[in-house]
Structure 1
Amino acid sequence: MKAISKYLFGLLLFLCLSPLSGFSQKTEGMIVYERQEFWSKIIGQLTYLSNEEKDRVKQTWGKNDEGWKSKTKMYFNANESLLTNLEEASEYGWSSRTEDYYIYRNYEKEKKIELIEMLGKTYVLEDSLRAPNWKVLNQIKDVAGYICMKAVTEDTVKHQKITAWFTGDIPVSGGPERFYGLPGMILELEINDGDVVITASKVEFKKLEGKELALPKLKGKKIKDADYDTIIAKHIKDSIKSYRNPYWAIKY
């Protein structure tokens, strides 16, 4: 009973602190997420790597690992969302090619389509929506100007701890990358206590024209969630046997 009471108190506090909760809800617009990968920390978690490979990473990143940064953008409305990589021009006016990457969700029809380049191949994943098994906690913090509540789950394939911070002021159960399914938009995501941190750097509400949520023509090998999990699990297992870092070829 005490645990339930603490949860209800935290949820009530979350709703009270959210600005004009219930009245200022926004369900259409765009979010830009910035992903920071701290490779010095990541390599430290991979105990099966050789000392030589660990030393190479330390020499590359140094002691002051500020994180490898990349960005994605997600358009969303009450029923759909589409996330893709965001290319930004450099100070010289050019931008490097980013890998093809799309995650489309239809929350109303409970369907998703993902295009992912990994391991030298392109896959088109079409399946039903199956949200992670989240546990909502009674902690709150500010992310991008929004009061967010904490939730945790586990990636059972990569064996990673996942921490999400979501806001009820954007009542869409979306989020960055392959994570969603909470009673509000995920604005920050942590993998393994900060090995990777994905944070909303821009939240913009606007009426979408429709084309923003339209997928381009996708080409690749069609698979399901179960196939994807099998491919990832096998790659990690093979990499461990060979004392290699599996995450040079797949997302951490």
Structure 2
Amino acid sequence: MTWPKAITFDCYGTLIDWEGEIQMIFKEILERNGVKNVDVVALQRHWENIQFDYIQNQYMPYKEVLRNTLPMAFNYFGYPFTEEDSRYFAESMGEWRPFPDTIDALLEIKKYTKIALLTNTDDSIIEETVSRIGVDFDEIVTAEQAGAYKANHDGFHLLLKKLNLDKSDILHTGFGFKYDVVPASELGITSCWVNRYGETRPANVKEDYLVGDMKTLALLVKGLASSSINPVRYEG
């Protein structure tokens, strides 16, 4: 690819420890309801599948998605919960913590190109998250703005419009293969899969770049910049 004028990121799972934070909250809810020694990884993965299918339907705010899908996952396993637990889960997302390598990697990448977010969440949630990360993004597009969740293409089109860039100008980076790599491939956008847990590809699609974490992505970007025909140094 030509040197990317922007690297666009999925947020939750790529920059924020989505799985770890959800597992921690589920464990907290279960223990509060008297349930211990539960496989919270299995619970979180089951919830993830429910959530992915749920957001492919008619758009609703993500806080509602969180509030509505927790009971589905807990009921499947017969785990107790309260309505307050569902509300607590829905309100917690803005406080979920970034991976240890996120901030330094973003600051390094910003030296070479623009950075932007394309995220399956609400404006109010991502505002909290970006404040927690503490790094300025050149553009942010949420599902609320697009009126649809990835893997729908609408958010990608809106982000390109806001960045005033062509699809050939960006590198889209994400942890969620179905959410990010697949639609990027469908749109002809160069993709990078941040596969932190060594997962098997869940679809017959191939990413253009594969890294295991954000630190490695920053090294890749620095290496590509140094070997570029027209080396860049972004000061925006």
* Normalised TM-score (structure 2): 0.28
Higher strand share: 1
Q: Which of the pair is proportionally richer in helix?
A: 2
Larger Rg: 1
What TM-score, normalized to structure 1? 0.26
